[in-house]
Amino acid sequence: MKISDLSEFPELEVIVRGVPERDVTGGVTGDLLSCIMAEAAPGMVWVTIQVHLNVAAVAVLREVSGIILASGRRPNEDLIEKCREESLFLGVCASSAFDVCAQLHARGLRGSV
Amino acid sequence: MGPQPYVERYVVQGGVFDAIGEASTQLKSVLKMLGIPSDITRRATVVAYEAEMNLVIHAGGGEITASVFPDRLELFVRDEGPGIPDIPLAMKEGYSTATDEIREMGFGAGMGLPNMKRNSDSLDVRSEVGKGTSLFAVIRFPSDPVQQPVKEG
């Protein structure tokens, strides 16, 4: 799966396109930043309900390929800005984190790379 | 022992949540530039990020010094914060003294020190209540030489 494939998801609103041709290697979900620091592998897409700037810092440090904000949570302006700066995909989905992950899983993504 | 290390020092301000990750991100860039293997860089980044979080959230700021030797990376983190009364307790996963507000942001998961330990080859934490905490982490490089071609970025 590529980042560009994420924009085809129903209900997913793309906020920052990131690098469309970048590979998505798997998925990780969680709202505790330390858990994501521990679990995320490079290229994974991260599903979370955290919407503040530090999400981008963790995403960049762990080299995730994109961020999906679940339950319709809107990103803070500074998070959008940082994602643009880092060419990091950022999307918002009305579905819950559970449902977003289920959709990603159905399309072949797994929690380990 | 051996040659002088390459040293980077970062001052981290207390209470500035938006800045958490800045020092770690800079360190990551430096390690990449030096051609340090990516798995080592990732481990170092976790240790530095968790340290940074602690400095901002708990310690009222402090500093991180990274020393790159041919065979290892050393991270020395020092603060003059309130200190950790019970280090073994703080090393337990899930134990946290962070406020609810901080936890709601996803910080204070009680995984900071455990994450640091997991990603270091050795970790030494010393603390004195009312005086501060110092933390010394060592990450060893694989036995093959570290001098590799500089990767892009």
**Helix (H, G, I), strand (E, B), or coil: what is residue B45?**
helix
pLDDT reported for residue B147: 54
pLDDT bucket at B148, cuts 50 / 70 / 90: low
Determine the distance in angstroms separating the CA of B139 from the nearest CA of chain A, rounded to an integer: 16
The answer to whether the CB of B70 falls within 8 A of the CB of B22 is no
Residue A112 falls within a domain, yes or no?
Answer: no
Higher pLDDT, B3 or A56: A56
Residue A87 falls within a domain, yes or no?
Answer: yes
Residue B39 falls within a domain, yes or no?
Answer: yes
Closest to B67 (Cα-Cα) out of B7, B9, B1:
B7
Residue A50 falls within a domain, yes or no?
Answer: yes
Give the mean model confidence (pLDDT) for residues A61-75.
96
The backbone torsions φ and ψ at residue B82, rounded to the nearest 5 degrees and listed phi first, read -70, -15
Contact criterion met (CB < 8 Å) for B109 and A32: yes
Determine the distance in angstroms separating the CA of A60 from the nearest CA of chain B, rounded to an integer: 8
Question: What's the token pair of residue A64?
Answer: 């995730």
- A7-55 pLDDT, tens digit per residue, is 888 889 999 999 999 999 999 999 999 999 999 999 999 999 999 999 9
CA dist., res. B120 & res. B4, Å (int): 21
Residue B1 falls within a domain, yes or no?
Answer: no
Across the beta sheet with B122-128, the strand order is: B6-13, B61-68, B72-79, B132-140, B122-128
Determine the distance in angstroms separating the CA of B22 from the nearest CA of chain A, rounded to an integer: 8
Residue A113 falls within a domain, yes or no?
Answer: no
The answer to whether the CB of B153 falls within 8 A of the CB of B108 is no
Residue B148 falls within a domain, yes or no?
Answer: no
> How many of the other CB atoms lie within 10 Å of CB of B29?
12
Which residue in B39, B45, B53, B105 has the most chain A C-beta atoms within 10 A of its own C-beta, making it the best mutation to test that interface? B105
Structural domain count of chain A: 1
pLDDT reported for residue A59: 97
Residue A111 falls within a domain, yes or no?
Answer: no
CA dist., res. A6 & res. B19, Å (int): 29
Residue B150 falls within a domain, yes or no?
Answer: no
ipTM higher than the 0.95 cut:
no
The backbone torsions φ and ψ at residue A51, rounded to the nearest 5 degrees and listed phi first, read -125, 10
Closest to A87 (Cα-Cα) out of A65, A62, A57, A54:
A65
Residue B14 falls within a domain, yes or no?
Answer: yes
Query: A85 at the B interface (CB within 8 A)?
Result: no
On the question of pLDDT at A70 being above 50, the answer is yes
For residue B20, give its domain range: 6-140
- B80-131 pLDDT, tens digit per residue, is 999 999 999 999 999 999 999 999 999 988 999 999 999 999 999 999 999 9
CATH number, residue A15: 3.40.1390.20
DSSP state of A99: H
Structural domain count of chain B: 1
**Cβ-proximal residues to A65 (8 Å cutoff; 6+ apart), any chain:** A3, A18, A19, A22, A23, A24, A25, A42, A43, A44, A45, A88, A89
Residue B149 falls within a domain, yes or no?
Answer: no
Residue B100 falls within a domain, yes or no?
Answer: yes
On the question of pLDDT at B2 being above 80, the answer is no
CATH number, residue B60: 3.30.565.10
**Cβ-proximal residues to A30 (8 Å cutoff; 6+ apart), any chain:** A36, A39, A46, A48
- B30-66 pLDDT, tens digit per residue, is 999 999 999 999 999 999 999 999 999 999 999 999 9
Task: Name the helix (H) or strand (E) containing B126.
Answer: strand B122-128
CA dist., res. A104 & res. B90, Å (int): 36
Residue type at A92?
V
- Number of residues assigned to chain B: 153
